[in-house]
Structure 1
Amino acid sequence: MADSGAFAGFPPWGVTFYQDLEEDNTKEFWAAHKGQCERDVRGPMVALAEALEDEFGPAKLFRPNRDIRFSHDKSPYKTHQGAFVGVRTGVGYYVQVSGAGLAAGGGFRSHSPAETARFRAAIDAPASGARLEQVARDLEADGFSLEGDTLKTRPKGFDADHPRLDLLRRKEMMAIHRLGTPAWLGRAETLGHVRDAWRAVRPLVDWATEHVVTD
């Protein structure tokens, strides 16, 4: 990732741009604003990722184009700019800027039924399950939402009175803190808030790395 200078925050233009893009998701609108998006969104995201690299590792910035080959929604562009630090396949740290502002967190996305099976087996096991339960409780207390695909009913093979049934319904777990558009978003101190969010989700990332992924 090429050096982009010191991170100085996300200009408010980026949030407004994504709000407008939600209303006018066309190639014409994108082309008219592409240059400023590179300067005021992608450039700061690159700088943020570089500032966090020593502690968390290199990040991948996602492309703006949506994969619409198998989607009913044919709008061509994503309405956010995200970056991901992959510790292992599907496990790591995430940050994005969108029309809703800044969000940061991390965790585990399942890429196969086998991964979901290992995830649930680790939840079922007393020691690892109790550990994840505490991690989840701590994250929610810190303002994170626990996200990811979840069953409405209990998964097959587990008792209805299982003490961690709510966790077992999950196929994956991402913890995201939606920070919105605070006054500091346009300043360098945003770096500290993202760093704090990633440090807070590190126990979840470490748990998934130990118990779920194999590559």
Structure 2
Amino acid sequence: MSLKGALDFLSELEQNNDRDWFAENKKQFEKHQKEIKTLFQEINDAFAVHDSIEKMQIHRIYRDIRFSKDKTPYKNNFSVSFDRTKPYLRGGYYLHIQPGASFIGGGFWEPNAEDLNRIRKEFELDDTAIRSIISEENFSKNFGMLQGQELKTAPKGFDKKHPAIDLIRKKQYLVYRRFTDKEILDKDFKNEALHTFLAMRPFFDYMSDVLGTNLNGETIY
């Protein structure tokens, strides 16, 4: 399957992001959307062998502009998310296809206050395990380092001089790997996407263990 037509369509959409143009080219959109959905389903089916996926969600191309200053009606990307089976498995996978800006990401985008505090408490107690995971060669080769918004100083109740303060002050725990258009168009892209998702697994499995236990290591489910 070649995604060149889909990338070309998205490039044209970015230059003609209005309802009239989209209506005139809707058949082309539906054709490329079908191709993309097939790719997403193939990735989901292949990845289900390696992880327990609760839900695949293919995102709509229509933007919600009600509360946005940007009133363009369409996204210039195709994207999908794969949610792990909760509550025992935490973390989610995301694939974003956009000309010049494609990426695979995942992690903990908006952890609730309870989960965020539990993660921070774990790092305060012992950051050895998470350091080992994010410094492992396959992780660092794919993602570099943990990303995400963070506080400028320590959260309330935490020591700003704690050795793990770089992790404790984070509000999100995310990973990203960017792909060029050439990489997206490569015949082996589906396998590369699977490989990238699998590289997240040790991080996700560790965080699932943390969020599934209390500070004494006792299971909470």
* Both proteins in one fold, TM over 0.5: yes
- Which residue does the alignment assign to 1:42? 37
- Say whether 1:198 aligns with 2:197: yes
SS in 2 for 1:104: strand
The gaps in structure 2 that reach 5 residues or longer are 213-219
CA contact (8 A) 1:14 1:98 kept: no
Q: Aligned-residue CA RMSD in angstroms?
A: 2.6
The structure whose Rg is larger is: 2
Alpha carbons of structure 1 residues 99 and 168: separation in structure 2 relative to 1, 3 Å: same
Larger relative CO (CA 8 A, sep 6+): 1 or 2? Answer: 1
Shift of 1:204: 1.3
CA contact (8 A) 1:119 1:172 kept: no
Alpha carbons of structure 1 residues 51 and 102: separation in structure 2 relative to 1, 3 Å: farther
CA distance, structure 2, for counterparts of residue 112 and residue 170 of structure 1: 13
Shift of 1:83: 1.6
Alpha carbons of structure 1 residues 149 and 79: separation in structure 2 relative to 1, 3 Å: farther
TM-score (norm: length of structure 2) = 0.78
- Which residue does the alignment assign to 1:15? 7
CA contact (8 A) 1:108 1:208 kept: no
The gaps in structure 1 that reach 5 residues or longer are 1-7
CA distance, structure 2, for counterparts of residue 147 and residue 207 of structure 1: 17
Deviations 1:103-149 (A, max 9, x none): 224222224222221221122121xx221122222366213153322
Deviations 1:76-123 (A, max 9, x none): 222222222211377222222112254224222224222221221122
Q: Sequence identity, in percent?
A: 24
Which piece of structure 1 moves more, 201-210 or 107-116? 107-116
Shift of 1:212: 3.0
Q: 2:60 aligns with which of 60, 63, 77?
A: 63
Shift of 1:200: 0.6
CA distance, structure 1, for counterparts of residue 42 and residue 80 of structure 2: 11
Shift of 1:175: 0.9
SS in 1 for 2:80: strand
Alpha carbons of structure 1 residues 98 and 156: separation in structure 2 relative to 1, 3 Å: same
Alpha carbons of structure 1 residues 25 and 147: separation in structure 2 relative to 1, 3 Å: farther
- Say whether 1:103 aligns with 2:98: no
CA contact (8 A) 2:57 2:81 kept: yes
CA distance, structure 2, for counterparts of residue 168 and residue 110 of structure 1: 15
